[in-house]
Amino acid sequence: MITILLVRHADIDLPPLTADPSLNDAGRQRAEALAHVAGAAGVTTVFTSSLARTKETVRPLLEVLGISGQEMPAPATVARKVRAGEFGDVVVVAGHSNTVPEVIAALGVPTPPVIGETQFDNLFVVTLTEPDGASMLALKYAARSA
């Protein structure tokens, strides 16, 4: 069984003052909470975008796991390689309000979520089913988003 944990980057100040903002204090706390939640889940691969806020979101998790993250290829490529087992049994994706739903859809979930601009507390758990299906559980983690 392959499981994918997907989160939008943790909290940033809105509107952002730069194109690549860092996490704010709430975001750093949420990143620590993600490490606590996923640290013992058997994560084998962690994907981020090229932007600092996604990398900062998974930094505490990567420290717990003792592995390096990698930048995510296109959603269809991720889905194909995840389904083939190339990234192990438990994969974490830290993306954005637009890319997380794209990856979820590419994995085969028929109705991917819509993530609002102020929502940072979603944790989506996608479990792959054969031959091409997927199921999704939508959870919340850490403090409620503003």
Sorted by where each begins, the domain ranges of the chain are: 3-140
pLDDT digits (tens, 9 = 90+) for 79-92: 999 999 999 999 99
Considering the four listed CATH numbers 1.10.3720.10, 3.40.50.720, 3.40.50.1240, 3.40.50.970, the one that applies to the domain covering 3-140 is 3.40.50.1240
Tell me what pLDDT residue 146 has: 75
Q: In which band, very low, low, confident or very high, does the pLDDT at 130 lie, cut at 50, 70 and 90?
A: confident
Q: Is the pLDDT reported for residue 97 higher than 80? A: yes
How does strand 90-95 pair with strand 45-48?
A: parallel
CA distances from 40 to 32, 34, 90, 109, 111 (A): 13, 11, 11, 25, 28
